[in-house]
């Protein structure tokens, strides 16, 4: 009788736990209710310790032949692949075949010598300042997925860049060039292709039998999902037709990525030393720590430590995360370009972590007054000279960002947000703005300290606009632009591609509809001599005006 009573009590105690788990699984199911037998889809798996607690697939792998996604479908993992390239570098470092403090030109002398040496560690942390080869390539009219990019072509583009986005080591800026270069280093140091090296050192030892690099995009890969995007309400294929890999290009399954993520617990390859290198956050030359380590982000989410990375290549999307305190891995792989891997991945994390210690943002903005206390007093009124200090158009010193501050009824607005006056030299919009000296401001946020300088308003006079017209050629991007002025609008021609117009932002500064910045530069006599183009991950690509 006593044993039966104990058994009954244990059963009752177990019920809430079982019910909660069932509820969690239903909540995860609901996240994928939009994917069905008329759409592409996703495979998702969640593992805690040795137990796989969720493992399902949704939607179709092939819309033409109505082939469903399964838990063993092969997807491309986008930038989740970067950690495999990083691991290859770290294994070579552990073997004493290279050092992460080495200058990259020791192995890749094709890269120009810049004002500061670039180390392998900078490549690992995205702090090298190297311009992204895909961003530069897009300026020719051939963005990725529209032509066959190869390892050699990417290296050729990188070797033509006469400058970096910033002084190496001083900033974090995500660039695929970092990881494409590491592929070259792995291959030159090991004497093997990246595919052969990782098969021997990573995939085979871990039993990742369904994982390979897309080093020949024409290869037939059984059980691979086709990637799609939606255009005008209709799905169309969007496949990565390129052979360059290492920054991405890893074909894999959810089950194989769970095996890979187990390394973060077992340290089975390379031991504790290589694990420590993998999760060591990068540092800038000013001592500031960033969250990017060796192909992974090391941060906090929902109060827990999170080791993660997302991926996006063509119509493929991916998310891989590990929460060491709970020993939980989450992986999601999709062949739908509209899938939000980070958003969905973290919604799953919220469900399975279940006992958040904090739901506050890690970096919530805080407003301070001069004494350092939280700002709680009523907004101050600025005088006329103080208003003029902030009013105007501001251009980032380092980035392509442009901010405009307008005055209305003795108040200052930025993007319709009214500034809170902290002091005569400090405002708060979405971030803290500090007037440091005439014509200069500093904008502070949790990521960085950004300096801006005041620029003149756009000059749309016929004389100014017509002086921009002409032919501009770039050795860095290997392309020639014809700039024309039609009906007081600046147009860029890059035949055989369609011409596109620019919208004025400030004097001699224009933006394209894609958000690229075009800045015309003049000599001391006011004559236009150059054009600098800044796109997502490549700034100040130089064009010279042809006489």
Domain ranges of the chain: 75-130+165-353, 384-455, 462-545
Residue among 46, 156, 60 nearest 112 (CA): 156
What pLDDT was estimated at residue 436? 87
What pLDDT was estimated at residue 502? 98
Quote the tokens at residue 125: 């942390």
What pLDDT was estimated at residue 358? 38
Residue 533 pairs in a beta bridge with: 518, 541
What pLDDT was estimated at residue 6? 41
DSSP H stretches of helix in 303-432? 341-353, 384-390
Structure confidence by residue, pLDDT tens digits, 435-491: 988 999 998 865 567 899 999 999 999 999 999 999 999 999 999 999 999 999 999
What pLDDT was estimated at residue 246? 96
CATH (one of 3.40.50.300, 1.10.10.10, 3.40.1280.10, 3.40.710.10) for 75-130+165-353: 3.40.710.10
**pTM score, whole prediction:** 0.86
237: three-class secondary structure by DSSP: strand
Fold of 384-455: Lipocalin (2.40.128)
Strand 417-418 and strand 420-423: pairing? unpaired
Pair 149, 137: CB distance under 8 Å? yes
Taking the chain (547 residues) in runs of 10, the rounded mean pLDDT of each run is: 43 41 91 96 97 97 98 98 98 98 98 97 97 95 88 96 95 95 98 98 98 96 97 95 95 98 96 97 93 96 95 97 97 97 96 62 35 41 88 90 91 90 88 90 76 95 97 97 97 96 97 96 96 94 95
Residue among 435, 391, 434, 431 nearest 413 (CA): 391
* Element spanning 6, H or E: helix 2-31
Q: Which class would CATH give 462-545?
A: mainly beta
CA gyration radius, the chain: 26
Q: Is 462-545 the same fold as 75-130+165-353?
A: no
* Element spanning 151, H or E: helix 151-159
């Amino acid at each position: 009788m006593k044993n039966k009573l104990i058994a009954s009590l244990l059963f009752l105690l177990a019920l809430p736990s079982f019910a909660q788990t069932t509820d969690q699984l239903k909540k995860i199911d609901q996240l994928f209710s939009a994917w069905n037998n008329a759409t592409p889809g996703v495979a998702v798996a969640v593992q805690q310790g040795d137990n796989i607690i969720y493992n399902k697939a949704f939607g179709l792998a092939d819309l033409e032949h109505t082939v469903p996604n399964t838990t063993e479908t092969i997807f491309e993992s986008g930038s989740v692949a970067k950690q495999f390239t990083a691991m290859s570098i770290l294994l070579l470092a552990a073997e004493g075949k290279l050092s992460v403090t080495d200058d990259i030109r020791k192995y890749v002398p094709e890269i120009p010598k810049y004002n500061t040496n670039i180390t392998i560690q900078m490549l690992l942390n995205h702090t090298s300042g190297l311009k992204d080869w895909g961003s530069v390539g897009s300026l020719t009219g051939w963005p990725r997925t529209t032509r066959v990019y190869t390892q050699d072509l990417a290296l050729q583009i990188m070797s033509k860049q006469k400058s970096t986005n910033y002084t190496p080591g001083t900033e974090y800026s995500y660039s695929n060039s970092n990881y494409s270069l590491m592929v070259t280093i792995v291959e030159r140091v090991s004497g093997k292709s990246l595919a052969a090296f990782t098969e021997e050192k990573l995939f085979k030892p871990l039993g990742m039998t369904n994982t390979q690099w897309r080093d020949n995009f024409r290869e037939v890969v059984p059980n691979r999902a086709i990637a799609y995007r939606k255009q005008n309400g209709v799905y169309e294929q969007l496949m990565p037709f390129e052979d360059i890999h290492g920054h991405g290009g890893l074909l894999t399954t959810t089950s194989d990525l769970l095996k890979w993520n187990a390394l973060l617990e077992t340290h089975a390859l390379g031991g504790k030393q290589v694990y420590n290198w993998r999760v060591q956050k990068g540092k800038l030359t000013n001592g500031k720590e960033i969250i990017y380590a060796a192909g992974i982000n090391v941060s906090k989410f929902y109060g827990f430590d999170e080791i993660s990375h997302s991926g996006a290549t063509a119509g493929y999307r991916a998310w891989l995360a590990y929460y060491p305190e709970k020993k939980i891995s989450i992986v999601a792989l999709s062949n739908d370009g509209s899938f939000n891997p980070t958003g969905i991945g973290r919604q799953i994390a919220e469900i399975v972590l279940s006992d958040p210690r904090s739901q506050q943002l890690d970096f919530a903005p805080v407003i301070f007054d001069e004494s350092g206390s939280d700002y709680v007093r009523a907004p101050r009124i600025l005088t006329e000279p103080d208003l003029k200090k902030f009013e105007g158009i501001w251009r980032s010193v380092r980035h392509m960002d442009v901010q405009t501050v307008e005055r209305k009824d003795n108040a200052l607005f930025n993007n319709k947000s009214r500034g809170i006056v902290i002091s005569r030299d400090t405002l708060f919009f979405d971030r803290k703005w500090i007037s440091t000296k005439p014509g200069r401001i500093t904008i502070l946020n949790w990521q960085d300290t950004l300096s801006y300088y005041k620029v003149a308003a756009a000059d749309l006079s016929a004389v100014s606009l017509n002086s921009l017209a002409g032919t501009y050629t770039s050795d860095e991007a290997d392309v020639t632009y014809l700039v024309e002025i039609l009906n007081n609008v600046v147009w860029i021609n890059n035949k055989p591609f369609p011409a596109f117009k620019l919208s004025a932002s400030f004097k001699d500064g224009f933006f394209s509809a894609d958000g690229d910045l075009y800045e015309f530069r003049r000599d001391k006599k006011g004559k236009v001599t150059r054009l600098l183009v800044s796109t997502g991950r490549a700034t100040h690509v130089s064009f010279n005006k042809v006489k």
